[in-house]
Chains A and B, each alone.
Chain A
Amino acid sequence: MTEVIATNETILVVGGGISGMTAALEAAETGKQVVLVEKRPYVGGRVTQLYKYFPKLCFPTCGLEINQRRAKMNPNLNIISMAEVTDIKGEAGNYTATVKISPRYVNENCTACGDCAKAVEAEFDDEYNYGLGKRKGAYLPHRMAHPQRYVLDPAIIGTDDAQKAKDACKVNAIDLDMQEEVIEFKAGAVVWATGWKPYDANKIQPYGYDRIANVITSVEFERMADPNGPTGGKLTRPSDGKEVKSVAFIQCAGSRDKNHLLHCSRICCMASLKQATYPADEVAISIYYIDIRAIDRFEDFYQKVKAKENVKFIKSKVASIVENKENGNPTLHGVDTEGYNRYADEHDLVVLAVGMEPSVDKASFPVEITINEEGFIEPAPENGGVFAAGCSSDALDVNRAVQHATGAAMRAIQVVNRVAATEG
């Protein structure tokens, strides 16, 4: 049974992406008791799946390393992975949270040696790589995963593979009898940091993501560019493995669109500018946009990319994509609105700069909270001691999400400090 020692002075952080991690660490490093509940088997969230950050083009794993070190060293922080908050009742200063913990089938004895993965045979789509590659039924989600513990896919439980994994483990870390647990504990304040998910590109029907192999999403392109990713960093076409010579980026793929996401997802312009730097200089890059939203000093980066000879910008929302059946090239149809030029442009690969959608569906928040039209949490006083952090509050870039999360931690601390003052 997972034990959690928590009181009304404890801060519960829901979601262990960069916002939740930040809120949790900042509060813990201010001396507060923090319980962090993360749905995935590891913390770090979506930034762990990014190859580089804009505009510095530095590596997200660099900051992840520091944050994970902070987490490992801090006794105030208790991380519960593979867990979801199913209910929160009470009021600021006195909440009771219900948390469902899924079985990992691997206990803390695990040394991440990898013997179990070698032993099992079943393979599954690798969600860490957005399904671009395969992983084993016993797996470490990614190399830097924290906790550094393997996971058994529930689909292998009850199969020979499960037993093989267990037999292969020399440190008795595999426990096939592990069951789902439901626990309850107290908290004085809650930081809600459930983040975002990429908009489902299948819904953007004119772009044929579901029909054209060489139309991919920006999050997939990010994995492809990563040398530690499924293609070893090679930018190749899904249809034939050919190295790409021309790439088109389609902005607002799902964003600023009443048929999809009403809001501007803020990050996609910068993300595409960043991704435009991934291919070699010989690769022709076209960015189809409505407005390039490079905020504040990101303007420098926009100008830098704009100055690149191989990058061109077309002010146009692409109308449709049709596959050239002979060569698999997606052909983009539309009108360049700067002076009205009609185009039918073929590219080797098309990247849809998909928007950010709040992870939690409007209807299924397990806590009473004020949500706006777009599904983001409003900074409403009625939310009591529940504070949104990061992308659960708006489409934010990493920097702003972290900034926002630090503020959320502050709000939570105010609540538990008030509890401490009255109880103490």
Chain B
Amino acid sequence: MTNEALIPVIGVITDIRKDTPDVKTFRVVTPDGKKAFEHMPGQCAMLSIPGIGEAMFSITSSPTNTEFMEFSIKKCGCVTSWLHACEVGQQVTIRGPYGNGFPVTKDFKGKNLLFIAGGIGLAPLRSVINYVRANRADYGTVDIVYGSRSMDDLVDFKEIEEEWKNEKDFNVYLTIDRPQEGWNGHVGFVPAYVKEVNIPTDRTAVLCGPPIMIKFTLQALLELGFEKTQVFTTLEFRMKCGIGKCGRCNVGDKYICKDGPVFRMDQLEELPSEY
């Protein structure tokens, strides 16, 4: 944690990779080339450009990667549009890590895992998937169901094809919403595909994507026989301080930025429906 919670440090963007028409992955290090701070998979950081604003992004690189931090950012607001327009070498300010991150050492330990992502929802999951790959022995089989609007909207497509598919006991199921020439994989929405693949119910599932996808995928999992205590998700909410004091992300008696953003589905039920 930086010495004072709200005071950022300088970060330099050393590489910008264009994944999809509206998603770019930025690699950030401190000016002297090191990682800004240590973090757990699923945690987030506040990136900001002076004068434009500050926004919370999940760290998509795995904690085992010690050279840099990566953020996959979709262009949808002031800060994100500005980032999409800037070039390599641009300095930004960064502070964090914030949030509780995925329980990789507790609930996931020694379990079979199921990752279900939609569109940019893969970004937070990528950090935990690569963490699992780096500590492969601690975890069981891993199924990944990932869907997007179209083929070129699949984030990190190269890494999925070349690395994840050849990993031991890694079953990767990709889908796109509508048929597209040059794509011979599955076509259809993620919730339907999950039911089709009929994944055994001993998995601990992690969901991340647009709220509508989470709603229907959760229903699909419950129909397959999953328990709510087996399913995790990360919540998308407006955050400003990141340390549970500024009140923005207060839902019920929880602060999404401090007590979340990763929640188990049964915990989500205890929250009033304001998210």
Asked if A and B bind, the verdict is: no
